[in-house]
Amino acid sequence: RQTLRTELDVGPAVETTALYEQIRADEFGAYTVDAPPAINTPSHHNLPASTTPLIGRAAEISQLLQLLADPRRRLVSIVAPGGMGKSHLAIAVATELVPHYADGVYFVALAPLTDAETIVPAIAAGVGYTFQNDGRALAAQLLDYLRAKELLLLLDNAEHLPTGVSLFTAILEAAPNVRLLVTSRERLRLNSETVFTLEGLAISEGDNQAQGAAVALFIQTAQRVRPTFEPTAADWPAIQQICRLVGGMPLGLILAASWVELLSLAEIAAEISRSLDFLAADLRDIPERHHSLRAVFESTWQRLSAEEQRVFQKLGVFRGGFTREAAERVADAALATLTVLKHKALIQTQPNGRFEIHELLRQYALEMLRDQRVDVRDKHSAYYCDFLAQRDGDLKGARQQAAMAEIEAESENIRMAWQWAVRRNQFDQLIDGIDSLGLFYLWRSRLHEGEEIFRQAVEQLKMASPTAQTVPIPSTWIRFTIRALLWLSTFQRHLRQSQSAEDSLRQARQWMA
């Protein structure tokens, strides 16, 4: 009786005694004794039940719980491109927090809303509040209702309602015990916002290749599609390739795994490499906007300004990340535009200051480049060939280690830039950086890569070589041919390809004669 008096603030009347007996008999199930006695009393939470397990996000859940436990962080936004699993993660976090909010934890789906004016009714419906016909504005009524509440609002998919975020600030100001967990494809750009950037699932390599979260999600999804699916040792390379191709993106893994009923793992990897359109499936239990990655990316593309689109598509030429200087030189990207693209989760920054772009987003950006692709690749190639040339002296001097580290960071871009220039017969662009590239591969013991890249250059030289009878052979062409053959011979010798090394050396001497 004392407990009932404390919790319900009523005396031990007949009605109270009856209520007590009902509670003891568990007639109400999970009855919340401290909920306000209103007709439209909401449940303690309305979180949707997950139909599939959340895989590989334990660290992210822990980090988000810590953020939301901090009284200084009342608005936390989970920001990532579409398909990264923001909603699934947010629901898991909110579920953990249900016991900690006296007035509940409530999920509000913003994706179906078409304008900011509908956010207030959507939140009211989520928390179970019925508007009064008393002349007050709907927003004012909602704020009054929330003012004394202790609850968490999970606002899912806020990116398409940018003008509505002012309501989030109003809620924080009016209701000191309300917290907001928001999912969005871009930052809200509010001073009160704590941004949590969500990335792809971990992809383990080497001996632990079967332990990565990305692999686990792919296998579990594949086993739902084909219950007898059990990967063998021979399957791991293809599974790893699939995980890398989709960059650990959960939606990409789910869509890829949906094909195991019809295609081999190697065929799935090949199709992903060939076209983004392959990653599509008519799954009825996921939102229609997630039925294909192209649809996901196009909805984001349409929200970019013309300048943001222009820069983003050019950034698709980079491999393995890029620096601010490279973005300015190759993509004509101003810092302000890079900042906006970062806020919209289209690029990320690393602790070392480099920018990165998710592999599937990079593939989409490159597709959107269309007719400009050759021009932008030419600029990319010119920039990185010059990058190599600038480090030629450093590699032979006091800055040797620093120069090696700089080349290492850009090795993917350099390789692509070199191969592009070779195919385009731009040997005058390559000559000043050829020794830098050779020394890098040699000193890093990347002998097979070095042999391959110089062999390709020599083969291209043979196909495109001018003849002295028709045109004077440019001196740059001769110099490059000699250097390429000498470097090819060097790598062949280190790989114990003695006869090939002698042949390459002999050809170099012929050009020197």
Task: Specify the pTM.
Answer: 0.79
Q: Say which residue the tokens 């390789």 belong to.
A: 415
- Token digits of residue 395: 């590699």
Tell me the C-alpha distance between 153 and 45, whole Å: 10
Cβ-in-10-Å burial (0-12, 13-18, 19+) of 395 comes to buried
- Indicate whether 351 belongs to any domain: no
Which of 184, 127, 125 has its CA nearest to residue 151? Answer: 127
Q: Do 110 and 230 reside in the same domain of the chain?
A: no
Distances from the Cα of 249 to the Cα of 51, 111, 243, angstroms = 18, 20, 8
CATH assignment at residue 191: 3.40.50.300
Tell me what pLDDT residue 290 has: 58
Tell me what pLDDT residue 284 has: 61
- Token digits of residue 396: 């032979």
- Indicate whether 380 belongs to any domain: no
Q: Phi/psi zone of residue 320: left (φ > 0), alpha (ψ -120 to 50 degrees), beta?
A: left
Q: Do 192 and 211 reside in the same domain of the chain?
A: no
Domain end marker among 162, 197, 232:
197
- Indicate whether 138 belongs to any domain: yes
Q: Do 173 and 109 reside in the same domain of the chain?
A: yes
Beta strands (DSSP E) in 267-404 are 348-349, 355-356
Distances from the Cα of 426 to the Cα of 57, 379, 418, 458, 507, angstroms = 47, 12, 9, 13, 21
- Token digits of residue 344: 């919209």
Q: Do 182 and 285 reside in the same domain of the chain?
A: no
Domain end marker among 265, 295, 325:
295
Tell me the C-alpha distance between 311 and 154, whole Å: 33
Q: Do 91 and 184 reside in the same domain of the chain?
A: yes
- Indicate whether 257 belongs to any domain: yes
Overall number of domains in the chain: 3
Tell me the C-alpha distance between 385 and 382, whole Å: 5
pLDDT per residue of the chain (513 residues) written in tens, 0 to 9: 444 344 444 444 444 344 334 434 444 343 333 333 333 444 589 999 888 899 999 999 999 999 999 999 999 999 999 999 999 999 999 999 999 999 999 999 999 898 999 999 999 999 999 999 888 999 999 999 999 999 999 999 999 999 899 999 999 999 999 999 999 999 999 999 999 999 999 987 655 555 789 999 999 999 999 999 999 889 999 999 999 999 999 999 999 999 999 999 999 999 999 888 888 876 665 666 656 888 889 989 999 999 999 999 999 999 999 999 999 999 999 999 999 999 999 999 988 889 999 999 999 999 999 889 999 999 999 999 999 999 999 998 999 999 999 999 999 999 999 999 999 999 999 999 999 999 999 999 999 999 999 999 999 998 877 665 556 778 888 999 999 999 999 999 999 999 999 999 999 999 987
Q: Do 278 and 218 reside in the same domain of the chain?
A: yes
Q: What angle do CA 418, 420, 425 make, to 5 degrees?
A: 95
- Indicate whether 376 belongs to any domain: no
Tell me the C-alpha distance between 221 and 73, whole Å: 35
- Indicate whether 418 belongs to any domain: no
Domain end marker among 267, 295, 323:
295
Which residues form the domain of 147? 58-197
- Token digits of residue 379: 């600029």
- Indicate whether 84 belongs to any domain: yes
Tell me what pLDDT residue 56 has: 94
Q: Do 170 and 279 reside in the same domain of the chain?
A: no
Which of 190, 136, 141, 146 has its CA nearest to residue 164? Answer: 190
Which of 381, 379, 366, 383 has its CA nearest to residue 418? Answer: 381
Tell me what pLDDT residue 30 has: 37
